Structure 1
């Protein structure tokens, strides 16, 4: 297979995946959930939760039958990853007293699962599989992260059908920025659950309110700084060290 043919296949698969996801989710699923909303008198949050969880099924289905991107789920259980998971739990604990705990948990699930499997597991996986086929190079790795992150951010512009441009623009920019941290942890660990957890905690903390005292404030601040440090530290670390996801992708392709 020639270089040009491989690139064309990447573009074809990427466009096919995005178009199919948008068509199924924004037309078929939206219509079904909208019908259920009025038929069963669902509240807005329940309808949104059903829609987002259905999106996860749609993403996994399209990937299974069309794009066939390998999704890396197996953890390595290193001491650094153990500390990472302990930190995720420590951040969540102060917010468990929130008045809207169930809503916050649901919001975390809605963001963490479908968006990470779509943006990182499938989209970023396809870009990195192509860009790293000739061997590990940090600039190729970073390009794959940025391309996938940009594609996912631009997908938010489909929300212009029901939201003003200024809102959608901010939403897209925030999705791109936050996506760098989610991508970084997935690339480093080679385990999509790490990205799901980070995204879950991010949305959970942002949604939870009336959590007790200064501890919640400190946990929120620590989590925000952690994401910034994570991106900077890992992007520098990859200059001399190949991350786990790159090794797993290249091993599959060898």
Structure 2
């Protein structure tokens, strides 16, 4: 394996990363964007976009300084992965006629990049480095997916400063459920871009307005069913087949 990690180190790295990330995001980034909002008369959406891109930079910076978790970018370029990317494009196409297509595209970028690099790139990576340190097992792989998703979902409770409890709870549950499919595709392909793409598509089609007709309806249905099937099929598949991300973390890709 590329890097050994014990439980104490896992907890220290995870807690340090999350605490500093929350502090920097909620204090420094929020204050800076709030200042820019009034100083340059920004609209709400532009300020939100800037904040999300700053969040991505903070995640990458803290990862480089503290957790030093490798985020895997290179696609494996299998036939199934090629089909996956074609499907993502097919889902997006019916929504390009939306009245607010540029806003929807920007919304997809906001969620897809910052949240995936944090939740899957850093958190899932850390848990898998620890849980797979003694060899591959589907049990430990699934535990890593669930634990990292739970940690990310719980981070949403910091929104209690400006949201009511029921809204935050719902937000956390939805983040956990959606994160299962994002984690599954990252684990299977070994490329964070696959997870970013799925998150982007989901946020994009949920935001797009005015894209009516059968194609957009069918695309939404197909995407929803695809995410469910992806989780079920891959969780079963991993029982007998070690996925790409596990092999890359353990340093045995190609074996």
Match in the other structure for 1:87: 87
Match in the other structure for 2:229: 229
Task: Please report how far the alpha carbon of residue 213 of structure 1 lies from its aligned counterpart in structure 2 after TM superposition.
Answer: 1.0
Distance in 1 between residues matched to 2:211 and 2:60, nearest whole Å? 35
Deviation string, structure 1 residues 43-65 (Cα, Å, up to 9, x no partner) = 11000000000000000000011
Task: Please report how far the alpha carbon of residue 212 of structure 1 lies from its aligned counterpart in structure 2 after TM superposition.
Answer: 3.3
Q: Which runs of 5 or more residues in structure 2 are unaligned?
A: none
Distance in 1 between residues matched to 2:70 and 2:36, nearest whole Å? 34
Match in the other structure for 2:28: 28
Match in the other structure for 1:239: 239
Distance in 1 between residues matched to 2:43 and 2:71, nearest whole Å? 33
Distance in 2 between residues matched to 1:165 and 1:100, nearest whole Å? 31
Deviation string, structure 1 residues 56-90 (Cα, Å, up to 9, x no partner) = 00000000111000110011111111100000000
Equivalence map 1:41-60=2 (5 Å): 41-60=41-60
Distance in 1 between residues matched to 2:145 and 2:63, nearest whole Å? 19
Distance in 2 between residues matched to 1:212 and 1:202, nearest whole Å? 17
Q: Secondary structure at the match of 1:163?
A: coil
What is the aligned length? Answer: 249
Equivalence map 1:98-137=2 (5 Å): 98-137=98-137
Task: Please report how far the alpha carbon of residue 6 of structure 1 lies from its aligned counterpart in structure 2 after TM superposition.
Answer: 1.5
Match in the other structure for 2:144: 144
Deviation string, structure 1 residues 30-54 (Cα, Å, up to 9, x no partner) = 0000000011111110000000000
Distance in 2 between residues matched to 1:188 and 1:34, nearest whole Å? 39
Distance in 2 between residues matched to 1:241 and 1:213, nearest whole Å? 40
Match in the other structure for 2:195: 195
Distance in 2 between residues matched to 1:82 and 1:139, nearest whole Å? 28
Q: Which runs of 5 or more residues in structure 1 are unaligned?
A: none
Q: Secondary structure at the match of 1:16?
A: helix
Distance in 1 between residues matched to 2:44 and 2:163, nearest whole Å? 16
Distance in 2 between residues matched to 1:181 and 1:240, nearest whole Å? 19
Q: Secondary structure at the match of 2:251?
A: helix
The CA RMSD over aligned residues, in Å, is: 1.1
Distance in 2 between residues matched to 1:6 and 1:225, nearest whole Å? 38
Match in the other structure for 1:217: 217
Task: Please report how far the alpha carbon of residue 101 of structure 1 lies from its aligned counterpart in structure 2 after TM superposition.
Answer: 0.6
Distance in 2 between residues matched to 1:144 and 1:215, nearest whole Å? 37
Normalising by structure 1, what TM-score? 0.97
Normalising by structure 2, what TM-score? 0.96
Q: Secondary structure at the match of 2:69?
A: coil
Match in the other structure for 1:69: 69
Task: Please report how far the alpha carbon of residue 227 of structure 1 lies from its aligned counterpart in structure 2 after TM superposition.
Answer: 0.2
Match in the other structure for 2:156: 156
Distance in 2 between residues matched to 1:117 and 1:166, nearest whole Å? 27
